[in-house]
Amino acid sequence: MKIDDFKNKKILILGFGREGADNFIYFRKRYPKKILGIGDRLEYQKLNIKYQKLIKQDKNIKLHLGKNYQKALKDYDVIIKSPGIPRGTIEPYITKNQKITSQTEIFLEKCSEEIIGVTGTKGKSTASSLIYDVLRSGHKKVYLIGNIEKPVFSFLEKAKRGDIFVYELSSHQLQSVKKSPHIAVFLNIYPEHLDYYRNFSEYLKAKQNITRYQGTQDYFIYNSSEKFVTETSEKTKAKKISFALEGADCSIKDGWIIYKKKKIMNVKSSPLPGSFNLLNIMPAIIIGTLFGISSSVINRAVVKFKPLKYRLEKIGIFKGVSFYNDALATIPEATIAAIDALGENVQTIILGGFDRNIDFKKLARRILNSRIRNMILFPATGEKIQNEVSGLAKKESFEEIPRSFDVDNMEDAVKISYKYTERGKICLLSCASSSFSIFKDYRDKGDLFRKYVFKLGKNR
């Protein structure tokens, strides 16, 4: 749906968090006197204070807040939905003549030729940031937008022809789009958000929209070592460029990342731990080359890259123990990758969180095959992980099984980490579960971990 199509429509902004507020600000500037509807499951008093102020300052708003907010949906021509609202929760309240759209869809309609879209279950933020740094180092006019940074409407008015947008795209943002970016990057896909989607197939279908509407002049950059990503590549009309640790257009040979037969970066100079991060680096190398940036500039930009917060971030060494903050590891595959990256010095791991019916069998095996000796477990999945570990250990007669400690707050988790982790070893926060059982989100969890590592480290 194009911007000009909204002029004579009744508009409802559905969801009034960060993106919803950005939607409101944009449409208010465009239509100063139009009545705009705002719908949200939260009551007014529970909205963010700054969003309450936005509402107070505007006389042309119609509010639909609280538990019955969906009942107002039928009264609007266009509903601009925030990505966190499952479409299934509103479908019973909408009619076939209504248009459901999103900030992402509107932005893609206007700027798709200048967009590099990045998706995947894990690694999106790191890969997007690397691409941004490489392009900026090559003196391109580039913006980092979407899931990682600012909502995109704040850029829509100032966008100029030739500007480049590196757009981190979640499955929620991609779910209903009918336009794909000019350059699409697909990193990986694992079972995730299954409390939001009906099944893995629906989740995969949402992710595949990143390339579904590409044409022959577009590019699809994909991880060919991932089964479902490779299957997606077989359906696209775009020009395909593969990456993998071996056997792809961009891969590793003799300790170097090679692309177009050129040695771009020695893997030993990677600023990020783990082979999974080499896969996050490769799209930046490919895209930098597509934009004519020299190998030396690409290499320099990547080597200078600093790890992002909450993503296998080393907090420091306290009382001889190295603490790593991997708060964004919300699925078992991410935690397994963290254990692989840090190696045999991981002695203590903090696990568990909100239960989304994810399978922990592979994680249990990886823990038993590691040097981990202490598992600190949050509810509710902590118990499930412990049961998988102890069950597998008994079934296959493992000689050693990690000690387990049940906790319900971060301070106790860090206290136990200090008590039982030996000097020279690692304590890793990498929960393999989402954060909502105890914490607001992964940032809250990671910030509390950092807080108590510093606080208790000083007090010992």
pLDDT (average), residues 76-98: 89
Bridge partners of 374, per DSSP, are: 348, 403
| Long-range contacts at 202-209 (CB < 8 A, ≥ 24 apart) | 203/171, 204/228, 204/232, 206/171, 206/172, 206/174, 206/175, 207/119, 207/120, 207/171, 207/174, 207/232, 208/232, 208/235, 209/174, 209/175, 209/177, 209/180
Among candidate residues 410, 417, 348, 407, the one with its CA nearest the CA of residue 383: 407
**The pTM of the whole model exceeds 0.85:** yes
What does the alpha-carbon distance between residue 41 and residue 65 come to, in Å, rounded to a whole number? 6
Name the residue with tokens 């960060």.
Answer: 18
Q: How far apart are CA 73 and CA 14, in angstroms?
A: 9
- Residue keyed to tokens 């980490």: 417
CA–CA distance, 91 with 93 (Å, rounded to integer): 5
- Residue 381: helix, strand or coil by DSSP? helix
Question: pLDDT per residue over 338-361, tens digit each?
Answer: 999 999 999 999 999 998 888 999
DSSP string, 187-249: ----S--TTTSSSHHHHHHHHHHHHHT--TTSEEEEETTSHHHHHHHTT--SEEEEE-SSSSS
How many Å apart are CA 167 and CA 164, to the nearest integer? 9
At residue 173, φ and ψ (nearest 5 deg) are -70, -35
Q: Which residue has the tokens 């910030």?
A: 447
Q: Give residue 112's pLDDT band: very low, low, confident or very high (50, 70, 90).
A: confident
Q: What beta strand segments (E) does 122-168 contain?
A: 142-146, 164-168
- Confidence at 460, pLDDT banded by 50, 70, 90: very low
Q: What integer pLDDT is reported at residue 300 of this predicted model?
A: 97
Q: Give me the domains of the chain, ranges plus CATH numbers.
A: 3-101 (3.40.50.720), 105-303 (3.40.1190.10), 313-459 (3.90.190.20)
Count how many Cα atoms sit within 13 Å of the Cα of residue 450 in the half-sphere of its side chain: 17
Neighbours of 458 (CB within 10 A): 9
Contact assessment for residue 431 and residue 355, using Cβ atoms and an 8 Å cutoff: no
Dihedral over alpha carbons 207, 208, 209, 213 (to 10 degrees): 160
SS3 48: coil
Which pLDDT score is estimated for 87? 81
Residue type, 200: F
The rounded mean pLDDT for the chain is 93
Q: Is cis: bond before 380, omega within 30 of 0?
A: yes
pLDDT tens, 214-235?
999 999 999 999 999 999 999 9
Q: Judge whether 143 and 163 are in contact, CB under 8 Å.
A: yes
**Per-residue pLDDT reduced to its tens digit, 265-283:** 999 999 999 999 999 999 9
Nearest in space to 141 (alpha carbons), one of 158, 163, 159: 163
Least confident range of 40-54, 65-79, 81-95:
81-95
pLDDT in tens, 200-215: 899 999 999 999 999 9
CB 191 within 8 A of CB 358: yes
Residue 179's pLDDT is what?
93
Check residue 2 and give its pLDDT. Answer: 67
pLDDT, residue 194, reads 63
Tokens of 389: 């570990």
The burial class, CB within 10 Å (0-12 / 13-18 / 19+), for 417 is buried
> Which three-class secondary structure state does DSSP give residue 321?
strand
Which tens digit of pLDDT belongs to each residue from 312-343? 999 999 999 999 999 999 999 999 999 999 99
pLDDT tens per residue, range 373-426: 999 999 999 999 999 999 999 999 998 899 999 999 999 999 999 999 999 999
Reported confidence tier of residue 149, pLDDT bands at 50, 70, 90: low
Q: What is the pLDDT of residues 39-63, one digit of tens each?
A: 999 999 999 999 999 999 999 999 9
Q: Where does the pLDDT of residue 73 fall: very low under 50, low under 70, confident under 90, or very high at 90 and above?
A: very high
Q: Report the distance separating Cα 348 and Cα 112, nearest Å.
A: 45
Instruction: Say yes or no to pLDDT of 188 above 50.
Output: yes
pLDDT in tens, 117-137: 999 999 999 999 999 999 999
Cα–Cα distance between 222 and 287 in angstroms, integer?
12
Burial bucket for residue 405 (CB in 10 Å: 0-12, 13-18, 19+): buried
133 phi and psi, to 5 degrees?
-65, -40
